[in-house]
Structure 1
Amino acid sequence: MHAWESIQITLDLIEANLSEEISINELANKANLSPFYYQRLFKRLVNKTVMEYIKLRRLARASEYLAEHKNRILDVALNFGFASHETFTRSFKKAYGLTPEKYRANPVKLNHFIKPELILNYAMVDEGVPLIADDIVIEVNRKTLSNPRTFVGIEIEVPICQLVGGETTGIAIVEELWMKLGSQRHNIPNQIPGGNEFAALYMGNAKEGNCMYMAGVEVESGTSVEGYSTFELPAKEYLVCGFEAENFNELVNSAVFKADKFMERWMKKHNLTTADFAIEMYYPTTPEVAYLEHWIVPVPIEQ
Structure 2
Amino acid sequence: MDWITGLQKAIDYIETNILESIDYEEVAKCAYSSSFHFQRIFSLLTGMTVGEYIRNRRLTLAGIELSISKSKIIDVSLKYCYETPESFAKAFTRFHGVTPSAAREPGANLKSFSRLSVKIIMEGGDVMDYKIVKKEAFKVIGKARSFSNDNSISYAELPKFWSESYSDGTLETLIKLIKSSNQVIGNAVLGICDSVNSVDSKHFNYSIGVESDVNEVPDGYSIIEIPASTWAVFKCVGAMPNAIQDMWQKIYSEFFPQSDYEPTQGIDFEYYPEGDNSKADYISEIWLPVRKKA
Instruction: Name which one, 1 or 2, has greater alpha-carbon Rg.
Output: 2
- TM-score under structure 1 normalisation? 0.46
Using the size of structure 2 for normalisation, the TM-score is 0.47
